[in-house]
Amino acid sequence: MASRPAYLDYQATTPLDPRVLEVMMPYLTEKFGNPHSVNHAFGWEAEAGVEVARGQIANLINVEPRDIIFTSGATEANNMAIKGIAFALHPRKSHVITQETEHKCVLESVRALENMGLRVTILPVDHEGLVDPERLAAEITEQTGLVSIMAVNNEIGTIQPLSEIGAVCKARDVVFHCDAVQGVGRIPIDIQGMHIDAMSLSGHKIYGPKGIGALYLRRTKNPVPLLPILNGGGQEGGLRPGTLSPALCAGMGAACEFMLREGPDELLRIEALGKRFWQELSSDLPEAQLNGSLQSRYWGNLNISFSGIKADRLLSRLKTIALSSGSACATDDANASYVLKAIGLEHGRAEASIRIGIGRQTTVEEMSAAREEIISAVTTLRSS
């Protein structure tokens, strides 16, 4: 079998950490009970696994375990938070604010609210992809109930000014929801200090399994109101019905535990790899452009454009590395990325962008090989 290319698409998904799989295995075999069966040991041991995991997730983000609600992923967590909080606040509050480079599941959730008659404001971002907290403050009215702003952008790695946004929301008594899928375990997030009231997480972006996520929702002190968007049994405190998968929960919990222990060192290593790659690539190809922010950036996500070269032609020449031109959910979209358009990239540049995602398994050697292959492909395409 031909050897597989080096994986450089860590924003799309991350490989399951083998240590996480080990923790999951018993729940796929002998500990098969329904965690909601209260009358026997099979149910109790499955439930115990779920509760350990809830505690591990809560520990990573420094909140109470009770405030963690399991979901099928961040798409569900975002839908649940945005629609569920907006429904609970309606009709007293009927205005929701977000921004234009959010993930589609946030943008489509607010669009659904708009179709139901709520008022929605989508804030613009500047050329680095940053929201202006003063502009946010100016848009808030008596009717505003919810602000949803992401932590780290999945396409360009821009880190939003969460502390400032949280301070604005707190001062105006507006619920602040944050899609932290690309941020948790990658950048420091202080839920209390940043006044985050609700936050979405995904298992498969932190070396855990796919098909599991969580919503942090403050329920212990000064609870955030939320109406469930799914109806069924009373699981997850009546907020998210359905039988939980103990294996997936245990996997996400273990992934969070490893992230808590190893995340800070990992971040330094990834940052060094990203910075060095960009320094060397940009000195060899001075016309290359790093999209997003230089200062407020997660360095494990490098979105780079090469003017005059279509990303799909470039990607088809890169045989030893696996990366993409942007969001995995939009790679079949013929149009250039809405995120790149939002930061003002003209169409030609937006079509010429690739995203390099660096992660836990990425080595110095892989990054050097990737740089050489990209430089050679760009040079060939330029001269053809």
> In angstroms, rounded to a whole number, what is the distance separating the alpha carbons of residues 56 and 283?
43
In this chain, which of 17, 179, 266, 366 binds ligand PLP, going by CB under 6 A? 179
Question: Where are the strands (E) in the chain, listed by range?
Answer: 6-7, 68-71, 95-99, 119-123, 144-148, 175-179, 198-202, 213-217, 289-291, 301-305, 321-322, 353-357
Minimum CB distance to ligand PLP, residue 78 (Å): 6
Minimum CB distance to ligand PLP, residue 150 (Å): 6
Q: CA dihedral in degrees (182, 68, 208, 339; nearest 10)?
A: -20
Report the sign of the C-alpha dihedral through residues 174, 180, 183, 188, in that order: positive
Minimum CB distance to ligand PLP, residue 228 (Å): 18
In this chain, which of 93, 103, 186, 371 binds ligand PLP, going by CB under 6 A? 103
Question: Which is closer to ligand PLP, CB of 181 or CB of 311?
Answer: 181
Question: Which is closer to ligand PLP, CB of 106 or CB of 321?
Answer: 106
Tell me the per-residue interface mask from 243 to 282 with ligand PLP, x by CB under 6 A, - otherwise.
Answer: ----------------------------------------
Question: Which is closer to ligand PLP, CB of 78 or CB of 337?
Answer: 78
> In angstroms, rounded to a whole number, what is the distance separating the alpha carbons of residues 333 and 10?
20
Residue 75 binds to ligand PLP (criterion: CB under 6 A): yes
The number of beta carbons lying within 10 Å of the beta carbon of residue 186 is 27
Residues 116-155 within binding reach of ligand PLP (CB under 6 A) = 150, 154
Which among 19-27, 45-53, 166-174, 177-185 is the span making contact with ligand PLP, rule CB under 6 A? Answer: 177-185
Residues 260/267, Cβ–Cβ less than 8 Å:
no
In this chain, which of 35, 49, 157, 213 binds ligand PLP, going by CB under 6 A? 213
Question: Which is closer to ligand PLP, CB of 150 or CB of 336?
Answer: 150
Minimum CB distance to ligand PLP, residue 67 (Å): 19
Please provide residue 262's backbone torsions phi and psi, each rounded to the nearest 5 degrees.
-110, -15
Tell me the per-residue interface mask from 276 to 305 with ligand PLP, x by CB under 6 A, - otherwise.
Answer: ------------------------------
Reply yes or no on whether 178 is catalytic. Answer: no
Residues in the chain: 384
Letter string b/e over residues 235-263, b meaning 16 or more CB atoms within 10 A of that residue's CB: bbeebbeeebbbbbbbbbbbbbbbbbeeb
Which among 70-78, 283-291, 307-315, 351-359 is the span making contact with ligand PLP, rule CB under 6 A? Answer: 70-78
Distances in whole angstroms, Cα of residue 161 to Cα of each of 120, 145, 183: 21, 20, 12
Question: Where are the strands (E) in 195-352, listed by range?
Answer: 198-202, 213-217, 289-291, 301-305, 321-322
Residue 240 binds to ligand PLP (criterion: CB under 6 A): no
Residue 226 binds to ligand PLP (criterion: CB under 6 A): no
Question: Which is closer to ligand PLP, CB of 254 or CB of 281?
Answer: 254
Residues contacting 32, CB < 8 A, separation 6+:
42, 46
Catalytic residues: 329
Contact footprint for ligand PLP (CB under 6 A): 73-75, 78, 103, 105, 150, 154, 179, 181-182, 202, 213
